Chains A and B, each alone.
Chain A
Amino acid sequence: MNIEEKWFNEDFQFETSLAPKRTRLQEFWLLFKQNRLAILGLFIFILFFCCAIVGLFMTSGPDPLFDPAMIRLQEKLRPPLAKPNLDSLRREEIPYLGFYLMGTDDLGRDVFARMLQGAWVSLTVGFVAVGISVLIGIFMGGIAGYFGQHHLRVDHVLVTFLLISGAALVTANFIRFGAALLCLTLAYIFYSLSTKNRSREKTLSSWTKVFRKNTVSVDTLIMRIVDIMLCFPSFFLILTVVALLPASIYNIMIVIGLTSWMGTTRFVRAEFLSLREQDFVAAVKTLGAGNFRIIFRHMMPNAIAPVLVSATIGIATAILTEAGLSFLGFGVPPPHATWGNILSDGKNFIFDAPWLTFIPGIAILIVVLSFNLFGEGLRDVLNPKLRERL
């Protein structure tokens, strides 16, 4: 083997590429590492997640380590780190740690146990609410962006109207009439589907052509719905609905989710509008992929970045909203402790027992702050302008 050949082999080995190749994740991590505040946010976020899960196991079950509902009236409003008065307590009432890490509240319940339980509740409220809003947002935004140029025909509008009024009649106790309306509409849907499959250009009589006229486009329709939703003052709307519905943790999650999907819809729509025109989508289309596959396999991964960012910040907002609702007395009902209702219970004792206000307040502040910092860091990293600089 002569020298030239050796050089050649070393330089042009195809197994190792010339530039140090980094995967997308490594690149992402390299950029993310530079943002110290975001790292801090991520760290606190993971810590909070672990706390919430550990807290769930420690405070639930028939015989929990920390019982958030254990009432010790003789031990009320003890400051943090206070030792329990062992003479006045039964054996099972003595706190697991041997002292009250975060004090006790006005009923003598261990605040530390309640905070642990509340962490899980806050986390679920945040995640489920944002999950709902992101799902709706992606769905609506995806439809508006991808199928936006399609027009709704008059018969579509009529069918929707008939379906809704049929369902309304059924719920309003006109069951027979409503059911008849529903059956008729469904029959029409099947009929139009079958005729559409059989022949496209069937000769239509003039009066049926009226039903095939175009009305608004899908995009306009969805964006007008978004406009309508944005007209409601969000906190006031949430408050109204939560106050009218029976108090339950699920209602709060659902209501927060249903009133916060508009931002995601707009992001996803904007991304889809620009992605739709790009070459790779045209390529996939010529390969014969279906709409479903194009949307979820090829376009969604490219559009997901702003959604992730707004979801992270949305979780923070949802936790704050839940705390605000709890504060006004419409939050998660009593057997569950949440940070919001620990705080709102504690506000009556703000001068005698400031820890009841400050511990949950600062906890909410730190968690929400970490989510916000992490989300903003994510936004910076996912920004393609910044990535080119690396």
Chain B
Amino acid sequence: MISFIGRSVIQKIITLFFVSIVSFLIIHIAPGKPSQVDPMNPKFTPEVVERFQKEFHLDKPLHVQYLYFYKDLFTGETVSWKDNQSVLKKIWERFLNSLPLFIVGTIITWTLSFPIGIRSAIFRGQFYDRSATFLSYLLISIPGFFFAYVLIIFVVNQFHVPVIGMETFGIGDGASLPYIFMDRIWHLLLPSVLGATGGIAVLSRYVRSQMLEVEGQDYIRTAWAKGLPPEQVHYKHALRNALLPFVTMFGLILPGLIGGSVIIESIFSWPGMGRMAYEAILARDYPVILTVNFVSALLVLAGTFISDLLYLIVDPRIRL
């Protein structure tokens, strides 16, 4: 167990090192320089550009820049080129904004997809299963931004509530507390539902296939042969074993904190991490892009590590 943890941590650190090199190279070797973002700006005189390059070590060779950048990152001194603020502080603020979206989206995904998947597996091949299958394909196939606009039109026309942004602009003074609360809920609901759609579709299919696999096992046949009531067979014998792989998926949802939310956050003007990354790309704010990349790689690796550990704990068969 300890040797497994040690080996996997070392392996992940090596992977992270290469990820940091690759992402650094991708961004710095790509054509275009950050000083070219706004060439028409009269304030961007050659002297300013030179000072700017000196300030951020852009005149040094690549490997020196790499060392400077990651030294700054680990000491927490990285600053954004755009507004000279600390990148880590910026990311933390945006992360706190993204967190409610992520939590609500995850809750919606997990609470909906399990009942749907289990029911589909029990009624395999029947009307419920077929319609759930078709619906999940529909949800996977729908372009997120298109679905977002359809939902926005629907909600705005039907319920007459504003949904763009984190809260209605200027609501802070004079409104009663329940009103503010409802306002926040409405603003939170649509983006998190949108974030959850793909997850619901994929996860419910996965639950279904896991459940079907377990239902085909011999011990389920034994349970039926004993004359147990269907509820007990499905939920006590089958479901418990089918749930095993999903424990590990708790680790794998971690990277969802950053990836995939770019489009949704920019539609809803939600000041979260995805939107910050998008703005950083537009402004060629390399420190922010690189830090977001690094943090998300860190999250992916931490996620797989956690899921491996959970698997070890949950499933005694694979314990080393």
Task: Name the B residues within 8 Å of A240 (CB-CB).
Answer: 26-27, 281, 289, 293
The stretch among B40-48, B106-114, B132-140 that forms the contact with chain A is: B132-140
18 residue pairs of the A-B complex, CB under 8 angstroms, read: A224-B15, A230-B300, A231-B19, A233-B255, A233-B258, A244-B30, A244-B281, A245-B31, A316-B141, A324-B143, A324-B144, A351-B153, A361-B143, A365-B146, A369-B138, A372-B140, A373-B137, A376-B137
Say if the beta carbon of A113 comes within 8 Å of chain B. Answer: no
B142 in the interface (beta carbon within 8 A): yes
| Inter-chain contact B30/A241, CB cutoff 8 Å | yes
The interface residues of chain B lying within 8 Å CB-to-CB of A227 are 15
Interface string of B113-152 (1 = CB under 8 A from A): 0000000000000000000011001101111111001100
Q: A37-B134, A316-B141, A357-B146 given as contacts; is B23 within 8 A of A232 (CB)?
A: yes
Q: Within the complex, what minimum Cβ distance (angstroms) separates B30 from chain A?
A: 4
B263's closest neighbor in chain A, by CB?
Answer: A324
Chain A's closest residue to B153 (CB) is A350
Chain B residues near A228: list those with CB within 8 A.
15, 18-19, 22
Asked if A347 contacts B277 (CB within 8 A), the reply is no
Residue numbers in B under 8 Å from A246 (CB-CB): 31
Shortest C-beta distance, B265 to chain A (Å), equals 11
Using a CB–CB distance below 8 Å, which chain A residues touch chain B? 37, 224, 227-228, 230-237, 239-241, 243-246, 316, 320, 323-324, 327-328, 340, 343-344, 347, 350-351, 354, 357, 360-361, 364-365, 368-369, 371-373, 376
> Which residues of A are found within 8 Å of B140, using beta-carbon distances?
368, 372
Top 9 A-B pairs, shortest CB-CB distance: A233-B259, A361-B146, A244-B30, A369-B141, A368-B141, A231-B297, A243-B281, A231-B19, A233-B296
Q: Hey, which chain B residues are within 8 Å of A350, CB to CB?
A: 149, 153
Q: Name the residue of chain B whose CB is nearest to the CB of A376.
A: B137
Q: What is the chain B residue whose CB lies nearest that of A234? A: B259
B22: chain A residues at CB < 8 Å are 228
CA distance A324 to B296 in the complex (A): 20
Q: Is B266 an interface residue (CB 8 A)?
A: yes
Q: Bound complex: CA of A231 vs CA of B133, how far in Å? A: 30
Residue among B23, B133, B142, B259 making CB contact with A235, cutoff 8 Å: B259
Q: Which residues of A contact B141 (CB under 8 A)?
A: 316, 320, 365, 368-369, 371-372
Residues of B within 8 A of A351 (CB): 153
Contacting residues, chain B, for A320 (C-beta < 8 A): 141, 143
Q: How far is the CA of A360 from the CA of B296 in the complex (A)?
A: 33
Interchain CB contact (< 8 A) of B145 among A231, A237, A324? A324
User: In the bound complex, how far is the Cα of B202 from the Cα of A26, in angstroms?
Assistant: 31
Residue of A nearest to B256 (CB): A233
Question: Could you tell me if B293 and A232 are in contact, using CB atoms closer than 8 angstroms?
Answer: yes
Chain A nearest CB, measured from B205 CB (Å): 9
B32 at the interface (CB under 8 A from A): yes
Complex CA gap A285/B262 in Å reads 51
Contact of A328 among B16, B32, B143, B278 (CB under 8 A): B278
B141 to chain A, nearest CB (A): 4
B260 interfacial by beta-carbon distance below 8 Å:
yes
Asked if A343 and B15 sit within 8 Å, CB to CB, the answer is no
A235→B143 CA distance, assembly (Å): 14
- Known contacts A244-B31, A351-B153, A365-B143; can you find 16 more A-B pairs with CB under 8 A? A228-B18, A232-B19, A233-B258, A233-B293, A236-B277, A236-B293, A237-B293, A243-B281, A316-B141, A324-B145, A328-B266, A343-B143, A357-B149, A365-B141, A365-B146, A368-B140
Residues from chain A with Cβ under 8 Å of B193 in the complex: none
Size class of B's contact patch? 35 or more
**A340–B146 alpha-carbon span in the complex (Å):** 10
Return A166 CB to nearest CB of chain B, in Å: 16
Instruction: Give the nearest-CB partner of A228 in chain B.
Output: B18
Q: Which residues of B sit under 8 angstroms from A360, Cβ to Cβ?
A: 146
Contacts of B203 on A, CB cut-off 8 Å? none
Q: Which positions 281-317 of chain B face chain A at CB distance < 8 Å? A: 281-282, 284, 289, 292-293, 296-297, 300-301
B262 contact from A316, A328, A371, Cβ within 8 A: A328
* Shortest Cβ gap from B298 to chain A (Å): 9
Residues of B within 8 Å of A364, CB to CB, are 143, 146
Contact B30 A245 (CB under 8 A): yes
Q: B30, A231: Cβ atoms under 8 Å? A: no
- What is the bound-complex CA distance between A239 and B296, given in angstroms? 15
Q: What distance in Å separates the Cβ of A239 from its nearest Cβ neighbour in chain B?
A: 6
The interface bits of chain B over 244-260 (1 if a CB of A lies within 8 angstroms of the residue's CB, else 0) are: 00000000000100111
In the complex formed, the residue of B with least CB distance to A36 is B130
Within the complex, the shortest CB–CB distance from B277 to chain A, in Å, comes to 6
Chain B residues whose C-beta falls within 8 Å of the C-beta of A323 in the assembled complex: 143, 145
**Chain A residue at minimum C-beta to C-beta distance from B19:** A231
A372 to B140, CA, bound (A): 8
In the complex, A234 Cα to B281 Cα: how many Å?
15
Chain B nearest CB, measured from A254 CB (Å): 13
Chain B residue nearest in CB terms to A244: B30
Contact partners of A230 in chain B: CB under 8 A: 300
Which of B31, B149, B292, B300 lies in contact with A347, CB distance below 8 A?
Answer: B149
A244 adjacent to B282 (CB under 8 Å) = no
Whether A369 lies near B30 (C-beta < 8 A) is no
Least Cβ–Cβ distance between A306 and chain B, in angstroms: 15
Query: Which chain B residue shows the least CB distance to A351?
Result: B153
Bound together, the chains give a CA A292 to CA B179 distance in angstroms of: 70
A102 CB to closest chain B CB (Å) equals 16
Task: Enumerate chain B residues within 8 angstroms of A372, measured Cβ to Cβ.
Answer: 137, 140-141
Assembled-state Cα–Cα distance A328/B145 (Å): 10
Considering the chains assembled together, what is the distance between the CA atoms of A147 and B57 in angstroms?
44
Q: How far is B142's CA from A360's CA once the two chains are assembled, in angstroms?
A: 11
Complex CA distance for A37 and B141, rounded to whole angstroms: 14
B263: contacting residue among A233, A245, A327, A365, CB under 8 A:
A327
Write the nearest CB–CB distance from A291 to chain B, whole angstroms. 29
Shortest distance between the CB of A315 and any CB in chain B (Å): 12
| Contact (Cβ within 8 A) A233 B142 | no
What residues of chain A lie closer than 8 Å to B14, measured between beta carbons? 224
In angstroms, Cα B149 to Cα A376, docked, is 28
- Report the Cα distance A369→B146, complex, angstroms: 14
B150 contact set on A, CB distance < 8 A: 361
Chain A residues positioned under 8 Å from B16 (CB to CB): 231
Nearest residue (CB) in B for A371 is B141
Question: In residues 7-37 of chain B, which contact A (Cβ within 8 Å)?
Answer: 14-16, 18-19, 22-23, 26-27, 30-32
